[in-house]
Chain A
Amino acid sequence: MRGRKLTVFALYRYTFTGFVLSQRYAAPALLFCAAVVVGTSSDSGPLIGAYSLCAMFMFLCAIWLTATLVNNEDPVRRGVTIVSAGGARRPLAATAAVAVSCCALLTVFGVGYPAMTGKHVVTAAGVAVGAGAQLTTAAVGVAVGLVCSRPVIARQGYAVATAVTAALAAVLVPWLTPVRPTVQLLLSDRSPEDVATPLLALALTATLLLTASIVATNTITTRRD
């Protein structure tokens, strides 16, 4: 018998393969790519300013992508997976890891396209800040997507309404989540080197938020049944 880490990796492979074969990632991924293309093509000005739009759309698409990923597995089949894994925690952790991985793949496009097509001065620090900002908002999006998924909110209408409300609140209310501060930081006309430290703090906050979301989702789903 292998260890717990290998079971989580096996769960990750299973979840990722099922999601890829379902092709349900296509709509959120296309929305993100289209938004990046339309919003950053032939853009000029500071590179990290162009990444602010990518970070904003990454947040929205991460919510959609995560909810779609969790809802992809039928509840009965999820039950079989949970029994096979010996509990609900590891399948949920693997699902969150798959969602973050999908967002990381989108980040490659979200970082590369503006750098290649816009009229910017491209520096390694600028690209790193862009990637960090998008992963930060992605983590918050995954956190919101998890608590708006079917195991937590069974009725799809309520789940969509909650997700939209949470997204609007995260974007509009200052300091509710790291999304708005991250976007504002990228638009602040500061150099990439200057924004790196506050961005790191925001990334850590986003990671904590994601961890709290995983714990809350696990607690709610296991107590509700």
Chain B
Amino acid sequence: MVLQLQGISKRYERDRPVLRDVDLEVAPEERLAIVGGNGSGKSTLLRIIVGLSRPSTGTVRSPKGAIGYVPERFPCHDRMSAASYLRHLGRIRGLGSRAARRRADELLERLALVGGSGTPLRQLSKGNAQKVALAQAMMVPPRLLVLDEPASGLAESVHGVLADLMREAASGGAVLFTEHHDAFVRKNATRICRITNGSLEPATSLPETRHPRKIFRVGVVPKPREASHELDWANMRGVVRTRPSDDGVEIHVLDEHQEDILLAALKNGWSITTVTSET
């Protein structure tokens, strides 16, 4: 087991208990989602798991020193650049300076940090700050990745990268996350638990989304290359994620924005090679 919780309860002074007798085991390669309403104790449970809060009763067995933690809100008020912050955190996690620099650059490139890696943290938007928070947790692949509402504040175009990083972390350990976006939970969790009145129970079902969103894979190639205009596909409306293909780009786009993407491709000198449904 990567994580074991036994009889965890938490009470703040004389308030009613936030968590009651929580037992939980997380196995290797699991991606466990914890869902529940606002103030249900999800964040408190995560803080106990990562060691930032002490349970009133119960024991936690976690891989201390090998946990990546992404808080719900990542405050950025300082002049330190994003790359510099990540290098420092990489060194704190035991990387050498060069390895930390390489890893920081690689993660920021994957997450497409707007403004570049040299941007001071205090100039980052909420979404970009969240990307830095995600990158710091992945500087050294953790045995347990704990994320508190990671998708909130992130553009849908980055959700694909977030999901990829979560899968990578789970391949060498386990992932535990809270999230309010049902679709994100459904897509990325291998198990779901719900907190109700401070107790943790396996979730039998999530409330159905009214209209499950359909995603299309659109393959485009520049033709001829010199006559085609460069397009920032990843940041276009409705694009969930992009992947470079042999000679072009594969774009994953929501159904309702598919025509806009096709039109943009044709207008800018790109050819459409494939359009297939993903869901």
A193 within 8 A of B: no
For B67, the chain A residues whose CB sits under 8 A away are: 83
- Given the interface pairs A79-B69, A84-B136, A225-B53, the reply to whether A21 lies near B78 with Cβ below 8 Å is yes
Contact B50 A76 (CB under 8 A): no
Which of B53, B74, B91, B96 is packed against the most chain A CB atoms within 10 Å? B91
Least Cβ–Cβ distance between A10 and chain B, in angstroms: 4
B73 within 8 A of A: yes
Contact B88 A2 (CB under 8 A): no
Measured between alpha carbons, how far is A193 from B67 in the docked complex, in Å? 53
- Given the interface pairs A10-B88, A86-B64, the reply to whether A80 lies near B51 with Cβ below 8 Å is no
- Closest residue of chain A to B93 (Cβ to Cβ) is A84
Measured between alpha carbons, how far is A86 from B92 in the docked complex, in Å? 9
Least Cβ–Cβ distance between B101 and chain A, in angstroms: 13
17 chain-A/chain-B pairs, Cβ below 8 angstroms: A2-B94, A2-B96, A14-B91, A14-B92, A17-B88, A76-B73, A76-B75, A80-B74, A80-B89, A80-B133, A81-B89, A82-B51, A83-B50, A84-B93, A87-B64, A222-B54, A225-B47
Contact A1 B94 (CB under 8 A): yes
Instruction: Categorize the interface residue count of chain B.
Output: 20 to 34
Least Cβ–Cβ distance between B262 and chain A, in angstroms: 42
Least Cβ–Cβ distance between B10 and chain A, in angstroms: 10
CB contact list, A1-36 vs B, under 8 A? 1-2, 6-7, 10-11, 13-14, 17-18, 21-22
For B69, the chain A residues whose CB sits under 8 A away are: 79-80, 83-84
For B66, the chain A residues whose CB sits under 8 A away are: 86
Measured between alpha carbons, how far is A10 from B89 in the docked complex, in Å? 8
Measured between alpha carbons, how far is A94 from B74 in the docked complex, in Å? 22
Measured between alpha carbons, how far is A14 from B136 in the docked complex, in Å? 14
Measured between alpha carbons, how far is A76 from B50 in the docked complex, in Å? 13
Contact B78 A22 (CB under 8 A): yes
A53 within 8 A of B: no
List chain A positions with a Cβ less than 8 A from chain B.
1-2, 6-7, 10-11, 13-14, 17-18, 21-22, 74, 76-77, 79-87, 222-223, 225
For A7, the chain B residues whose CB sits under 8 A away are: 92, 94
**Those 10 A-B pairs whose CB atoms lie nearest each other, nearest first:** A86-B65, A10-B91, A14-B88, A1-B94, A83-B69, A21-B79, A74-B75, A225-B53, A10-B92, A79-B52
For A21, the chain B residues whose CB sits under 8 A away are: 78-80
B71 within 8 A of A: yes
Measured between alpha carbons, how far is A80 from B71 in the docked complex, in Å? 8
B210 within 8 A of A: no
B84 within 8 A of A: yes
CB contact list, B54-86 vs A, under 8 A? 54, 64-69, 71, 73-75, 77-80, 84
For B65, the chain A residues whose CB sits under 8 A away are: 85-87
For B133, the chain A residues whose CB sits under 8 A away are: 80
Bitwise interface map of B from 92 to 103 toward A, beta carbon under 8 Å scored 1, else 0: 111010000000
Measured between alpha carbons, how far is A81 from B65 in the docked complex, in Å? 11
Least Cβ–Cβ distance between B63 and chain A, in angstroms: 10
> B77 contacts which of A1, A74, A79, A80 (Cβ < 8 Å)?
A74
Measured between alpha carbons, how far is A67 from B37 in the docked complex, in Å? 37
